[in-house]
Structure 1
Amino acid sequence: LLSRVDRDLEEAARTWARPDRPPPAPPLDAPNSRRPPSPFYVQVVDADGRLLFVVNDESTAPDVPDEPTGRPVTVGSAGDDGPHWRVMSTENASGVVTTVGMSLAEAEETVDRLVVLQTVIGAVVLVALAVAGGVVVRMSLRPLDEVERTAAAIAEGDLSERVPEGDPRTEIGRLSVTFNAMLGRIESAFAATAASEESARRSEEKMRRFVADAGHELRTPLTTIRGFAELYRQGASTDTGMLMERIEREARRMGLLVEDLLMLARLDEQRPLDRSPVDLLAVAADAVHNARAVAPERAVTLDIIDGPGIPEVLGDDARLRQVLSNLVTNALTHTPPDADVTVRVGTADSDAVLEVADTGPGLDPDDRERVFERFYRADASRTRSSGGSGLGLSIVAALVAAHGGKVEVESEKGVGSIFRVRIPRLRPS
């Protein structure tokens, strides 16, 4: 605005208000049909300082400088009560000074309005920015609210909670990824600890049950031996041969139990086996012949499982024979006399397979889960007339595990059971 006023003043000074021209005739004092209104203030003073004329249509007049300015300057109103003026004074060779001025009232009013408008706009913009900033901050902090909620859930014991992962390019996104990774490690650590504690608890329970069962199994023959010895000492029985036979039988039973316990202890220590190539077909054939000799009235057969290669493994021949002997003995002992027992041998994939199948009464689901536990028996009684210790299948499981294999059982009530042993077979060199 000020530049436009300066241009108008300089234009007037160069044209109609040039001081080098003769002073024009004094204009009319007020605007009329001969002189329209003019925004310019014009004052002409001769060399003697006499005021020749003044043109001014404003209610106020500028405080004209005493000396010619030669360029536009800003001055106040005469009497200090009015708007500012922009004036320019020039002097010609005759000493006549012409002053041209324009009121800045309109410009100042415009500036004031602009200041007010800018203030209002600035306030509105600041409010809008504050609101937008608050929204952005709340949205950016929302993941932190999720972190807080997740932390509260974890504090209550729910370790499965996770924070929603945001943009990995943002700090909140990277924080959520890191936080979830930390939660995963914590959950895994707690799960491992819980599993370890559960395993230790189960081991402790098994140990207590094992000690109790071992004590029970040993106490029974010891009680019997002590009872017959007391009868002999008191002379209550004259049949000394019968007493000695009963004592010898119970001692033999106790000796077998102790041998089984010692074998399990050695297997638990993971002592190395005497390994050599073992043909499981020969082992199975010998087991069938032995079973037929022990129980000639039972139907015990040998069958071959079709598969690649030969059923040869690297293992301890005596221990593998004991595995199959225990399985066959278990089938003969716990099935009725008319039940068939079949020994199968062969290969499946990279394993050699031994199976002992029977057509007996089968096992309940609970019995299938616990049949390889030490001293576990499927019937409710704790002893049998056969004198079994309840360790035969436990020894089978331990020996198979020592050979790097696994043993499993399939059984159906009223149909029969299949005990299956899989051991990695020996690859031909």
Structure 2
Amino acid sequence: MVALAVAATAAVQVGMWIRYEIWSDRINSQLPPEIAAELGRLEDAPKENTKRLHEIYTQYSDLFVSPTDTEDLLVQALLSLAIIPFVVVFALILARRIAQPLSHVVVAAESVSVGQFSTRAPVPKSAPAELQRLATHFNKMAQQLESYDRELHDSSAAIAHELRTPLTAAMGRLQGIMDQVFPLEEAQIATVLDQLVQIQHIIGDLQVLSLAQGDRLQLEITEFAVREFVDERISWAGPALRKCGLQAVNHVDSVQTLRGDRSRLGQVLSALIDNVVRHASDGGIVEVDFEAGDLSVELIVRDRGASILPDDKDLSRFFERFWRGEKSRSRHAGGTGLGLSVVHAICKAHGGHATAAARAGGGTEIRVRLPRAGMAASTGKQTI
């Protein structure tokens, strides 16, 4: 719009200049040819030829009559009126370039507001750069909302399934006891209790994920010995390890320390060991190691089971909630499908991340990378 205003002003000035050029040419055409030629030479150096110029202007004064101010204003007004249609046309074109992308974004926003998250606003190449960025960022927002909505639906269905399975089993077992199909004995009660414990684990994992997603997962940061911490978690997982014939090896040096929330990181290590128990027990071994760098530290869990990471697609989805690889690495099944999502959430709350990679010769290596300096201790502790 600024350029349009400048162009309109310049057009009026050019018109006035052309008018004075025409006036000058008319004077030269009425002068005798020799006088006109002499006047042109004299006007090239007016200071040196003042006297002769004055003589010519006086002699032909009737020709050198300048336009009046009224005439100038009239010509300027006519020029402005002639330019106005062009200004209006170009202004409408510019306004359309601005209004059309905005109207597309408005229509798309109305669709998104009623839940149609797949709607996208077109990004015209002819639109100003700012409006292109607006439409592009709106589309990114809509894409993210669509992803969240899809994840919400998928998660709701998966949560319902994961809770329904153990709950149905527990109710069926209790109904069988009441109908005297099963005897009322400790083994039957233990079976029901196992199903209830599984439901409790699902609820606990969902609460951790919810707190982490809302940046409300509070951490109690302390410094602790890593080897002792790993031995403790391996000991807790001892019955499950022995049941599936897995050998756990702690490679962590006794001098290594780590700053973080010991309880939360314990959840991480237990979840990784449990993942090996369920999906890689055929490898016969689970190894835990620790590497310290200048800026970060890594807690590493390795197994030798048959890899479930055949391609990059599996790698990118490894820490998604309720995702399981299509190829199971052992005969063992079960789990909530939330353990590795909890690992990712707790790592992120510490300012780190977790990665998974297939090992040469078979197996998987999961690395939990955390900032070396740790995080400032939080003011409180959220208990799950």
- Name the TM-score, length of structure 1 as normaliser: 0.53
- Structure 2 residue identity aligned to 1:319: R
Equivalent residue, structure 2, for 1:343: 288
- Structure 2 residue identity aligned to 1:226: M
Equivalent residue, structure 2, for 1:93: none
CA change 1:185–1:112 in 2 (3 A) is: closer
Equivalent residue, structure 2, for 1:264: 209
Residue 319, structure 1, aligned to residue 264, structure 2: yes
Contact 1:280 1:313 in 2 (8 A): yes
Structure 1 residue 328: deviation in Å? 1.7
CA change 1:322–1:238 in 2 (3 A) is: closer
Equivalent residue, structure 2, for 1:234: 179
Structure 1 residue 353: deviation in Å? 0.8
Contact 1:353 1:420 in 2 (8 A): yes
Structure 1 residue 327: deviation in Å? 0.9
Task: Kindly provide the CA deviation profile for residues 142-179 of structure 1, in whole angstroms up to 9, marking residues without a partner as x.
Answer: xx9xx99x969x979874747xxxxxxxxxxxxxxxxx
Structure 1 residue 391: deviation in Å? 0.9
The structure with the greater share of residues assigned to helix is: 2
Contact 1:410 1:417 in 2 (8 A): yes
Task: Kindly provide the CA deviation profile for residues 331-382 of structure 1, in whole angstroms up to 9, marking residues without a partner as x.
Answer: 222113344322110212300111111122111333222121112111479x
CA change 1:398–1:357 in 2 (3 A) is: same
Equivalent residue, structure 2, for 1:199: 144
Equivalent residue, structure 2, for 1:129: none
**Separation in structure 2 between the aligned mates of residue 396 and residue 275 of structure 1, nearest angstrom:** 17
Residue 404, structure 1, aligned to residue 348, structure 2: no
The structure with the greater share of residues assigned to strand is: 1
Runs of 5+ consecutive residues of structure 1 not aligned to the other structure: 1-110, 119-143, 163-181
SS of match in other structure, 2:322: coil
Equivalent residue, structure 2, for 1:300: 248
Equivalent residue, structure 2, for 1:81: none
Residue 283, structure 1, aligned to residue 259, structure 2: no
**1:19-418 alignment to 2 at 5 Å?**
159=123, 161=125, 183-238=128-183, 240-269=185-214, 270-291=216-237, 294-296=240-242, 297-304=245-252, 312-362=257-307, 363-364=309-310, 365-379=312-326, 386-411=333-358, 415-418=362-365
Residue 422, structure 1, aligned to residue 369, structure 2: yes
Equivalent residue, structure 1, for 2:86: none
Backbone CA RMSD of aligned residues: 3.9
SS of match in other structure, 2:297: strand
**Separation in structure 2 between the aligned mates of residue 377 and residue 304 of structure 1, nearest angstrom:** 29
- Structure 2 residue identity aligned to 1:320: L
SS of match in other structure, 1:192: helix
Structure 1 residue 315: deviation in Å? 1.9
Task: Kindly provide the CA deviation profile for residues 236-285 of structure 1, in whole angstroms up to 9, marking residues without a partner as x.
Answer: 34464443332222222222222222232333341321122234343234
**Separation in structure 2 between the aligned mates of residue 321 and residue 418 of structure 1, nearest angstrom:** 18
Structure 1 residue 196: deviation in Å? 1.1
CA change 1:187–1:249 in 2 (3 A) is: same
CA change 1:224–1:293 in 2 (3 A) is: closer
**Separation in structure 1 between the aligned mates of residue 227 and residue 187 of structure 2, nearest angstrom:** 43
Structure 1 residue 289: deviation in Å? 4.5
Deviates more, 1:259-268 or 1:289-298: 289-298
**Separation in structure 2 between the aligned mates of residue 360 and residue 320 of structure 1, nearest angstrom:** 24
The structure number with the bigger radius of gyration is 1
Task: Kindly provide the CA deviation profile for residues 265-313 of structure 1, in whole angstroms up to 9, marking residues without a partner as x.
Answer: 33334132112223434323433454556424423223359xxxx7544
**Separation in structure 1 between the aligned mates of residue 257 and residue 298 of structure 2, nearest angstrom:** 10
Structure 1 residue 407: deviation in Å? 0.8
Contact 2:324 2:337 in 1 (8 A): yes
Contact 1:355 1:420 in 2 (8 A): yes
Structure 1 residue 314: deviation in Å? 3.3
Alignment size in residue pairs: 267
Give % identity. 24
- Structure 2 residue identity aligned to 1:274: E
**Separation in structure 2 between the aligned mates of residue 413 and residue 204 of structure 1, nearest angstrom:** 38
- Structure 2 residue identity aligned to 1:260: D
CA change 1:250–1:113 in 2 (3 A) is: same
CA change 1:257–1:385 in 2 (3 A) is: farther
CA change 1:281–1:190 in 2 (3 A) is: farther
**Separation in structure 2 between the aligned mates of residue 199 and residue 245 of structure 1, nearest angstrom:** 44
Equivalent residue, structure 2, for 1:166: none
**Separation in structure 2 between the aligned mates of residue 343 and residue 288 of structure 1, nearest angstrom:** 9
Contact 1:313 1:423 in 2 (8 A): no
**Separation in structure 1 between the aligned mates of residue 345 and residue 134 of structure 2, nearest angstrom:** 30
